[in-house]
Amino acid sequence: MIDLHCHLLPGIDDGARTLEDSLAMAELAIAEGITHILVTPHHKNGSYENVKTVIEKKTAELQAEFDKRDIALTLFPGQEVRLNGELLTDVNNDEILFADLDNQYLLIEFPTLSIPHYAESLFFQLHQKGITPVIVHPERNQAVIADPNTLLPFIERGALAQLTASSYVGIFGNEIAELSSRLIEANLVHIIASDAHNTRGRSFHMREAFVKLEAEFGGERALDFQQNAKAIINGDMLRTEVPMEVLHKKQRFGFLKKMWGR
């Protein structure tokens, strides 16, 4: 299993604080069935600014520690980049880490409370450069929570989105779990990742999430999500379904009644 979003590097953001924390997280990841991790410290989110060269160095150092201790995890350097007005300049200056070596897939975080008015224009410019934005944890953005269809135009125009395992299995509450299911149902999210920060409240929950995904949407959808993570890390094309409007709760209930013939 591949985890494309994880705060595993020690002492660099609000994830693992020490090497011991990173080692404990690594053991838990292996127990979950994870074999490869894209480490994604926060970048330019107002609290942390983790530059490319430092992340690459710290990733190599942590990989060396894992190898020395026979911890069977393969690490790749990455960033969780907060959407900001300097992003295109930073991309042009080779200061951004992508999810793949071909610089095609870029993990982008929206601010918690809103989606900036310039987001669609910036995404269009990224698309023109051959870059596919991957919106991380949209289910925790307040604008998407208020109206899930806020996400629809971004996906219709070629962006991807990553759902957090903890959100889907209910760690952040029933409302976020229910929204996560609705986003999957509407083909508005394409991968599941952990966004793990520690071994306690912000842990991996990847195995549980995929068990739930298979139970709710079938084995083929679960396999697609796993293959999509592999495609992103390899810089390959993803298999995606046509995005749809998220039905409001009353509309969804009426649709299901009609489908069930009741």
Amino acid type, 184? I
Helical segments of 129-248, H only: 142-146, 152-156, 165-168, 174-185, 206-217, 219-234
Helical segments of 93-138, H only: 119-128
| Dist CA 145 CA 141 (whole Å) | 6
pLDDT in the model for residue 262 = 36
What are the backbone dihedrals phi and psi of residue 235, each rounded to the nearest 5 degrees, phi first? 75, 30
pLDDT in tens, 234-262: 999 998 999 999 987 655 444 444 433 43
How many Cβ atoms are within 10 Å of 249's Cβ, its own excluded?
Answer: 9
pLDDT above 80: residue 150 = yes
156 or 259, higher pLDDT: 156
pTM of structure: 0.93
**Ranges of each domain in the chain:** 2-260
Using CA atoms, how far residue 133 sits from 37, 103, 119, 197, 201, in Å, is 19, 11, 11, 22, 28
169 and 201 Cβ atoms separated by less than 8 Å: no
pLDDT in tens, 65-79: 999 999 999 999 999
pLDDT in tens, 70-109: 999 999 999 999 999 999 999 999 999 999 999 999 999 9
Is the CA virtual torsion 65, 67, 71, 75 positive or negative?
positive
Task: Give the pLDDT mean for 181-201.
Answer: 97
| Distance separating the N- and C-terminal Cα atoms of the chain | 40
Q: What burial letters (b/e) apply to 106-145, b meaning 16+ CB within 10 Å? A: bbbbbbeeebeeebeebbeebeeeebbbbbbbbbbbebbe
Task: Give the pLDDT mean for 171-186.
Answer: 97
Q: What dotted CATH number matches 2-260?
A: 3.20.20.140
Q: Which of 157, 81, 87, 162 is nearest to 118 (CA)?
A: 87
pLDDT in tens, 212-223: 999 999 999 999
pLDDT in the model for residue 201 = 85
pLDDT in tens, 133-146: 999 999 999 999 99
192 and 183 Cβ atoms separated by less than 8 Å: no
